Amino acid sequence: MRMTLSAHTLTLVALIAIGLSLLAIGFVVFAGGSGDREPASVLTGDDAVGALLGKIERLEQAVRALNGTDRRQQFQIEGSVRRVALLRYDAFEDVGGRLSFSCAMLDEHGTGVVLTSINGRQETRVYAKPVTAGTSTYNLSAEEEEAIRLAMTEDHEAAEAR
């Protein structure tokens, strides 16, 4: 049996074949899945498994690198000043305006410094005392202890009264 096709039908079949060919080429070139637009080849059997194992190994290396970066950043965050409390007060009865203050600046573990400024009529004195785990080797005033306690409290607001 012999089939005859018109010129119009042959043209349509040729255009469809060219379109499918271009689509297949585009799929092979850009469907590698690596995201970097490298040409991909058609793999079968053991070659495909090997290629997938290689990609998995690269992903595992990237995850290990990210975990290391995460640990370093977590260590840096824990050592940064994250807990701050400011306590303002009148250090002397004859000086008003709550110009004296104690400010505790601590990291996640309660280590840092408490700064105190005592304002008098004739002079102002500033003290900086180291704090480790919420305590200091220096004698602390009641105001300094209160500032440290406020900074160590999970949900505190800067105290401005007394």
Distances from the Cα of 159 to the Cα of 96, 97, 114, 146, 150, angstroms? 17, 15, 14, 9, 8
| Span of 44-48, 111-115, 118-122 with lowest mean pLDDT | 44-48
Confidence at residue 160, expressed as pLDDT on a 0 to 100 scale: 45
> In terms of pTM, does the model score above 0.85?
no
Give per-residue pLDDT as tens, 39-77.
555 666 677 777 788 888 888 888 888 888 888 888 878
CB 106 within 8 A of CB 144: no
Give the separation between CA 67 and CA 71, rounded to whole angstroms.
6
114 three-state secondary structure? strand
CB 61 within 8 A of CB 117: no
Q: Which residue has the higher pLDDT, 126 or 65?
A: 126
